[in-house]
Structure 1
Amino acid sequence: MKKIVTALTVLSVILAVSCGKDKNESVTHVTVIPVKVSETTAGNNTRYVTASGKTEAENSAVVSTRIMGYITKVHVKAGQKVSAGQLLVSINNTDLQAKKAQADASVLQAATAFNNAKKDYDRFVTLFGQQSASQKELDDMAARYEMAKAALEGAKQMRNEVRAQFSYTSITSPFSGEVANTFVKEGDMANPGMPLLSVEGASRLQVAAMVAETDITSIRNGMAAKVLVKSTGEVVDGTVAEVSLSSKNTGAQYLVKINLANTSGKVLSGMFVNVQFPIAGSKETTASSAVLVPESALVKQGQLTGIYTIGSGNIAILRWLRTGRAFGNQVEVLSGLGAGEHYIVSAEGKLFNGAKISIQ
């Protein structure tokens, strides 16, 4: 029994020493996270109206046909560059070939009848001048001549109608650009008005943005704008080209279109953007009175937005903010952070509230 007690006592001492050693090590070993900091700044005196939108081709068209027929060939693929007038889709035109043959035959028949009527009319004009034909006979021949002339003209117009329908069996590109999408394949039945494919003029892009009713009166044609592409972070210059003055079908949002300057191929159709309209006399908060921080420095947890600041003893303190509008890649801070305060821009480790940091 004494041996067992002695063994337990020795084991307890060993465990106490071991635990004490681990505890001391956890206290003394603290990870210091290198961070980069910045100071809150206020912008210039420019005032802004911001809106969200999406890029689109300035020239775009959904190509369809006016006749019914089987598609015999789709000559292009999505993403392929095409030139104006290039053949895109071919539709079977066997029935039109038959109608064209009928129209040609009708024209030939009407032309023969017209030529005979003209000869008879000219003959009776001569006979009437020689007093060998009566006035009634001349009038009857003149009426026959006019009827034959009208019949020939009608037959020619019917032939023109058939010929025009051939253009709807060979669908061509309305302008130079790229094929954005194809909706049919060989063997499908084309119907009048059915979309076959879409073409976009990729050389010139514009932005379609929706502006709130409180801001639309500040937007004018020809004014400059800054366009921030969300996916790439690129800022592109633009000019307001169209301003809608009705929100009947857009729910109190007004459509504004902005033509983009040279995008160097980095901006594609369909990308989401933020548009910034620098204006004078805006009711919005001015950049000079707003505290702005980079959006990348913000921490989001559910519905909360915060930022890491520097506490006494070089520790990270998570401070919750109330944010406002976005100005490019910066966000307006309405409360929670004052002008001139320092905050953490980036860290070389995972930050948490109370983490030990070293400023680089």
Structure 2
Amino acid sequence: MRTTLLSLSVMAAFVPQGLLWAADAPPLKVITVQSTGQTHNESTVDAVVEAVRQTSLSTQVAGAVVALHVKAGDRVRAGQELLRIDARAAHQNVIGAGAQVEAAQANLAVASKELERQKQLLQKQYISQAAFDRAQAQWDAAKAQLKALQAQNSAAQTQSGFFVVNAPYAGVVSDVPVTLGDMAMPGRPLVTVYDPTAMRVTAAVPQGLLAGVQAQPKGVRYEFPGVTGYSTPQLASQIQVLPSVDPVTHTGQIRLSLPTGMVGVAPGVFARVWLPGAAAGQGSAERVYLPTSAIVRRAEMTGVYVLDAQGKPSLRQLRLGQTSGDRVEVLSGLRPKDKVAAEPQLAGAVR
């Protein structure tokens, strides 16, 4: 395999006279991207950090939130109460169901005594079989009613537990989208909890690169740009390639397990995954490097000023790769022979 390197030649150029900017402005230095014809066999994909266990908790009943014990960022233990919903009506239902059970038990006791008397009378042939059958039917009905009311009481007591939301496992609260007094509805997320001890990086990989990942799993690396201590690529210890490919995007999903205790790495953090690709000459790509001083960063946009045929600079968005010293790899957005302004602040002043 050959290694791809793109050399950059820097030359000074003056802005054409048609551009309107200060006459005493210094000359605009330009970087001309030139290719040496060398190639590389490694590519990158954007990824995101996920928690293996992340749960959005909600309730099965409606009611107002009357107690909220946690906020985003709090650590909770398994079974800890997180919030409570107004359950006064549910408690009244439990009391009413309990009273109905007691009444049914009293009716069953009366029916049992009546059945016993009718049985003794039948043995002495003082009553007919039909009269005894009626007493037996009344006892059976009272017993069945007691079972039905006991089931209703049990259901009411179970439903009263739906008004308290507890942590399913020890973890960290990542989001609390409700406040005191909000109305909780069945299925509405109330608290989101995740387990910080089991994290992973998930990436959508083009179908053409999946074979390289499966053939060289030990060559897969990941990094977290902007996270202190993890901005350089690290080898993945455990890799899982899901056995399906999206028919629309033609990408497969891979998951990289992360070690515990990574400070600053939480669900949703941006990650970059480096993948082993095809052998040289089989779909390999060229590498382009630029000085970091030529890069323009504005909010979430990263780019450079590229000069057109008339020498006028325009901002173009780039996708960057790994930084090496004072150079950064350009994954997309530039081609050989493109002219890039070496001083973006000066190029941005051109009108």
Q: Which TM bucket (shorter chain)? A: 0.5 to 0.7
Q: 2:196 aligns with which of 178, 198, 202?
A: 202
Instruction: Give, as a single letter, the amino acid of the residue that structure 2 aligns with 1:108.
Output: E
Cross-structure match for 1:346: none
- With over 3 angstroms needed to count, the CA separation of the structure-2 counterparts of 1:84 and 1:223, relative to structure 1, is farther
1:118, 1:328 → 2: CA distance?
87
Native 8 Å contact 1:72 1:92 kept in 2: yes
Q: 1:153 aligns with which of 132, 141, 147?
A: 147
Cross-structure match for 1:276: 274
1:158, 1:221 → 2: CA distance?
60
Cα drift, residue 176 of structure 1: 1.1
- Structure 1 unmatched runs, 5+: 1-39, 305-322, 338-349, 353-360
1:265, 1:57 → 2: CA distance?
14
Cα drift, residue 188 of structure 1: 1.6
Cα drift, residue 246 of structure 1: 4.4
- With over 3 angstroms needed to count, the CA separation of the structure-2 counterparts of 1:59 and 1:295, relative to structure 1, is farther
Q: 2:300 aligned with 1:302, yes or no?
A: no
Cα drift, residue 205 of structure 1: 0.9
- Structure 2 unmatched runs, 5+: 1-35, 296-302, 308-317, 344-351
- With over 3 angstroms needed to count, the CA separation of the structure-2 counterparts of 1:181 and 1:335, relative to structure 1, is closer
SS state at 1:203 partner = coil
Q: Output one character per residue of 1:144-173: Cα deviation in whole Å (capped at 9) or x when no partner.
A: 222212211111111122112222211111
Cross-structure match for 2:226: 231
1:72, 1:197 → 2: CA distance?
14
Higher strand share: 1
Aligned ranges 1:1-360 → 2 under 5 Å: 48=42, 50-129=44-123, 131-216=125-210, 223-224=217-218, 225-232=220-227, 233-236=231-234, 237-241=236-240, 243=242, 245-247=244-246, 251-278=249-276, 296=292, 301-302=304-305, 326=321, 331=329
Q: Output one character per residue of 1:102-161: Cα deviation in whole Å (capped at 9) or x when no partner.
A: 111111111111222233334444544555554333333332222212211111111122
Cα drift, residue 95 of structure 1: 1.0
Native 8 Å contact 1:104 1:159 kept in 2: yes
Cα drift, residue 82 of structure 1: 0.5
Cα drift, residue 302 of structure 1: 3.3
SS state at 1:61 partner = strand
Instruction: Give, as a single letter, the amino acid of the residue that structure 2 aligns with 1:191.
Output: M
Q: Output one character per residue of 1:26-62: Cα deviation in whole Å (capped at 9) or x when no partner.
A: xxxxxxxxxxxxxx9x999xx6564211102111111
SS state at 1:78 partner = coil
- With over 3 angstroms needed to count, the CA separation of the structure-2 counterparts of 1:270 and 1:50, relative to structure 1, is same
SS state at 1:164 partner = helix
Instruction: Give, as a single letter, the amino acid of the residue that structure 2 aligns with 1:116.
Output: V
1:131, 1:217 → 2: CA distance?
91
Instruction: Give, as a single letter, the amino acid of the residue that structure 2 aligns with 1:183.
Output: P
- With over 3 angstroms needed to count, the CA separation of the structure-2 counterparts of 1:138 and 1:280, relative to structure 1, is farther
Bigger Rg, structure 1 or 2: 1
Instruction: State which drifts further: 326-335 or 129-138.
Output: 326-335
Q: Output one character per residue of 1:40-91: Cα deviation in whole Å (capped at 9) or x when no partner.
A: 9x999xx656421110211111111122222111111110001111111111
Q: Output one character per residue of 1:296-328: Cα deviation in whole Å (capped at 9) or x when no partner.
A: 587663358xxxxxxxxxxxxxxxxxx999579
Structure 1 vs Structure 2 CA RMSD: 3.9
Native 8 Å contact 2:46 2:271 kept in 1: yes
- With over 3 angstroms needed to count, the CA separation of the structure-2 counterparts of 1:325 and 1:234, relative to structure 1, is closer
Cross-structure match for 1:344: none
- With over 3 angstroms needed to count, the CA separation of the structure-2 counterparts of 1:126 and 1:79, relative to structure 1, is same
2:129, 2:261 → 1: CA distance?
79
Instruction: Give, as a single letter, the amino acid of the residue that structure 2 aligns with 1:91.
Output: I
- With over 3 angstroms needed to count, the CA separation of the structure-2 counterparts of 1:169 and 1:234, relative to structure 1, is farther
The percent identity for this pair of structures is: 22
